[in-house]
Structure 1
Amino acid sequence: MEQTPALDDLALFVQVAEAGGLAGAARISGVSVPTLSRKMQSLERQLGRTLFHRGARGYALTVEGRSVLEKVAEVGSLKVRLARSLAMPAFAEVRITAGGWTSAYLARRMGHVWTSQSKWRPVFMEATARLDIARRGADIGIRNKRPDQDWLAARCTGRIEYAAFAVSDKIQGFLALSQAEVQTPSATWVRDHHANEIVTTAGSSRLLVDLAVAGLGKVVLPRFAAADLSGLQQVGPVIDALTHEEWLVSHHEARHDAPVRAALEALAKLLGSRSCAIKL
């Protein structure tokens, strides 16, 4: 191949080959017959190959032409997909990792700070284990302490408080996360302080809430999360041992990218407004 042909010319070649002539390809492509003829001749010169047998009945592929067609048959559909893609607004996915309750809180309120016309698209990656922001495993992380790595930037969004919740203050016993699961700080606290009061366990925090709503026991939750749950009331004091700061973390260079910066501002707005949702 002496020169690399243009994608448009290869797409026209496919249409001429499939139509068996210039007239049929002209109807499909909207390109005139003389222009198609010139482009096919130019394509043959670029490739250094004879692609067609030209005759009264149309354009028949040569052996070389069939070989080229096999290699570029997908060019036409690729061109269409590419054109459609370029015609659509450009969206940049911003990967956000947080614990389950924070992810749920954000998801319920994302419509306040994001629309389908926004130039970034939230991708939630709920994870108890921390994804590596430094190696770009995620773009933004919501953490329970300030990172000490120089390559990470962070801003504090507030303090997170935990307490016990139940359907009434007469409920006895605690609900605990199954020991087969990764133990969150609140799960560890329940086992450390109320091991003899555990009435049953479950494999997820969401299931613990369902059990608490059914009246089986008390569940320890972030107060902001409990504010979103109907049927539960706070039945104990704030647990100081679980209170912690919350940090919005990103790579110190990536935070200047427009999509990441927009996402950081949106998340900071939502997270900073949580105190308004907490009811004693």
Structure 2
Amino acid sequence: MNEQTLSEVQWDDLSAFLSVARTGGLSAAARSTGSSAPTLGRRMRALERTLGRELFVRRSHGYDLTDAGRTMLAELEGIAGRIERITARPAGDVPPLVKLSAGTWTTLVLVRRLSDLVNDPQDVRIRFLAAEDILNIGRREAVIGIRNRQPVEKGLAGRKLARVHFAPFSAPGAPDGWIKVHADTPSARWVASNSGDSIAHEVSHPRLALDMALSGVGRVILPTFIGDAEAGLQRAGDPVPEISHDQWLVTHDDDRSLPEVRRTIDRVVRILGRGLK
């Protein structure tokens, strides 16, 4: 087969050819592939037309290979073996991987609730992608994303979870100076706009701001589900309504019915869906 012909043939069709060639008939191949015998018959005829050669002699007892068919089978067996080795699951019962993207604070909560996400016995692996930027689910940078707005991209499905509120927090007796976070988030922008000259310290990542607040060196804006859960912090002012937002769970239409994705979605909803306390 030349390169142009190969570009016109899908691997699924070549895999179906292998099944028919190895079993010698449509019925046996149908059982191994999950396709119907008539469907396989049509695909084999279409494959022959695309390749411009007869691959089978169709007899009452089954499908016999022509010389061209035997040559193609021999060529494909080596390719198929390499593909099967490349795509084989690792040894042992390894749970499927789900990439989950969320901001710093939601990721922190989900990490702390990891046992509720992966079940016991474990039936899914989670790759946490903590990022303030929105990852591209359409390009599978993440499979599940937790966002602060409803998705508008074509092919994405969204589910509203809960309303997230923010307030200032500090350790008892801490000075009033703000801990400024250099990040493109609503809370960081609010502090930059409203702190004036009252900046105690600056950090490059939101998680560092929590650690500094716990050390008693200043005030920080946190989601109330984070600040209220920290025994070493207390509210240092009223909630800031202008940076409250809804939380959305987002995934791709093509992925959300996958068993491991469906299970993870259901568990995330149970953790986040009624608000974080």
Query: TM-score with structure 1 length normalisation?
Result: 0.64
- Offset of 1:271 from its aligned partner? 0.7
Distance in 2 between residues matched to 1:90 and 1:110, nearest whole Å: 17
Counterpart residue number, 1:94 = 98
Opposite residue 196 of structure 1, the aligned amino acid is D
Counterpart residue number, 1:194 = 195
Alignment of 1:196-235 (within 5 A): 196-235=197-236
Counterpart residue number, 1:125 = 129
- Offset of 1:148 from its aligned partner? 1.1
Residues 167-176 or 140-149, more deviating? 167-176
Opposite residue 144 of structure 1, the aligned amino acid is N
In structure 2, the CA distance between the partners of 1:83 and 1:214, relative to structure 1 (3 Å rule), is: closer
Counterpart residue number, 1:146 = 150
Q: Which of the pair has more CA radius of gyration?
A: 1
Partner SS for 1:130: coil
Q: Which runs of 5+ in 2 are unaligned?
A: 1-80
Q: Are residue 239 (structure 1) and residue 243 (structure 2) matched?
A: no
- Offset of 1:121 from its aligned partner? 1.4
Q: Is the 8 A contact 1:169 1:235 kept in 2?
A: no
Alignment of 1:39-50 (within 5 A): none
**Percent identity of paired positions between Structure 1 and Structure 2:** 31
Counterpart residue number, 1:183 = 184
Distance in 2 between residues matched to 1:132 and 1:168, nearest whole Å: 41
- Offset of 1:195 from its aligned partner? 2.6
**Aligned pair count?**
196
- Pairwise CA RMSD: 2.6
- Offset of 1:170 from its aligned partner? 6.7
Opposite residue 225 of structure 1, the aligned amino acid is I
- Offset of 1:90 from its aligned partner? 4.8
- Offset of 1:267 from its aligned partner? 0.6
Alignment of 1:239-278 (within 5 A): 239-275=240-276, 277=277
Q: Is the 8 A contact 2:135 2:142 kept in 1?
A: yes
Counterpart residue number, 1:44 = none
Counterpart residue number, 2:162 = 158
Q: Is the 8 A contact 1:143 1:248 kept in 2?
A: yes
Q: Which runs of 5+ in 1 are unaligned?
A: 1-74
Opposite residue 211 of structure 1, the aligned amino acid is M
Distance in 2 between residues matched to 1:162 and 1:169, nearest whole Å: 21
Distance in 1 between residues matched to 2:117 and 2:181, nearest whole Å: 33
